Structure 1
Amino acid sequence: MTRLRALIRSLWEKLIGYAVRFGVVGLACYVLDTAIFNLLRTGALGDGLREPLTASTAAFAVALVASWIGNRYWTFRNRRRADPWREFAEFAAVAIGGFLIGLLCVWVSHYVLGFQSLLADNIARNVIGLVLGTAFRFLLYRYWVYGNRRTVAPAE
């Protein structure tokens, strides 16, 4: 029983704990991103960013910064880098990769398949793209940006 408990604790600390915290940060940033995307697509913030790819890009930029802060100071707080600008650059590179996965889903749905409603854009972006992009980001954040070989920042 003690071995099983130790194994479960080890799994929790090494992966599941990160996944849960990553999910909470991700959910908060998802809500922020989706709200901004829909406000832009409906014209509530002006007509300049109504096009779906432009609205996605603007919403992503805001959510990226919020996500980095949440992941740096909570999810991977014990693995923060001593150089936050390099960490942010790597974090952003991975986030952009995940964003491009979601953007590709919107592009295929909206422009190739012809599903041009707000609902179709949201399904392509916030269901299909979200699942694929989240898996991509979690793995690269956990094992590259905040991997074991990284230098940990001094406690703040």
Structure 2
Amino acid sequence: MPPITPRPSGWRARLRALVRELGKFGTVGSTAFAVDLLVFNLLLSNGSETLTAKTISTVVATTLAFFGNRYWTWRHGEHTHLARQYTTFFVLNAVGLGITLACLAISHYVLGDIWPALRSQAADNVAGQLVGTALGTIFRFWSYRKFVFRATDVPHRDPAYSPPSP
């Protein structure tokens, strides 16, 4: 009877797993961003109203991100109720967007009153696209992992192993 293959332990194994997870999360997010940009611009070029186009492109991209994360990034996580998971994912995505908007608002409207240079387009891009997106992405990664795709602690077993009969 083959032994159970032990799971690698220690901080190095956890760090390697976290880096793989972050890489997959980043790949899914980058793909979703590209799809959002593509769908938004296709809809605009075909005469859609701006807010309608952005709403549709965001729903399409968020849905893609949900399924990419569910079936690739966190494929070993809990997958019990698709509708509840999808709704939670959307809500947490909205919170991540709120973080991005808060960074932009603080920079532009609060700090911009003190330093007018922070009301420029370049400053808005730094605050919203760089700082806001970075903080929102950190929140999304943490919250998806904790609330949407919770890890199940399934022991890693050798596929050839079968437990002995009593």
| TM range, smaller chain | 0.5 to 0.7
- How do 1:25-40 and structure 2 match up within 5 A? 25-37=28-40, 39=41
Structure 2 counterpart of 1:143, one-letter code? K
User: What is the aligned partner in structure 2 of residue 139 from structure 1?
Assistant: 142
Matched residue of 2:45: which SS? coil
Contact 2:78–2:152, Cα closer than 8 Å, also in 1: no
What is the TM-score of this pair, normalised by structure 2? 0.64
Structure 2 counterpart of 1:31, one-letter code? A
Name the structure where helix makes up a greater proportion of residues: 1
% identity of equivalent residues? 33
Structure 2 counterpart of 1:72, one-letter code? R
Instruction: State the distance in 2 between where 1:137 and 1:45 align.
Output: 32
Q: Give the Å deviation of 1:18.
A: 1.5
Q: Give the Å deviation of 1:61.
A: 1.9
Instruction: State the distance in 1 between where 2:103 and 2:47 align.
Output: 25
- How do 1:1-156 and structure 2 match up within 5 A? 6-7=9-10, 8-13=12-17, 15-37=18-40, 39=41, 43-46=44-47, 48-49=49-50, 56-105=54-103, 115=120, 125-148=128-151
Contact 1:56–1:103, Cα closer than 8 Å, also in 2: no
How many correspondences in the alignment?
Answer: 138
What is the TM-score of this pair, normalised by structure 1? 0.67
Cα-to-partner distance string for 1:79-129 (whole Å, 9 max, x where unaligned): 0412111111111111111122234455667888655x6x77765543233
Q: Residues 122 and 36 (structure 1 numbering): CA distance in 2 closer, same or farther, change over 3 Å?
A: farther
Q: Residues 82 and 130 (structure 1 numbering): CA distance in 2 closer, same or farther, change over 3 Å?
A: same
Contact 1:110–1:121, Cα closer than 8 Å, also in 2: yes
Instruction: State the distance in 1 between where 2:74 and 2:133 align.
Output: 21
Structure 1: gaps of 5 or more residues: 151-156
Contact 2:74–2:151, Cα closer than 8 Å, also in 1: no
Q: Give the Å deviation of 1:10.
A: 3.2
Deviates more, 1:103-112 or 1:16-25: 103-112
Relative contact order (C-alpha < 8 Å, sep 6+): which is higher? 2
Structure 2: gaps of 5 or more residues: 1-7, 113-118, 154-166
Contact 2:76–2:151, Cα closer than 8 Å, also in 1: no
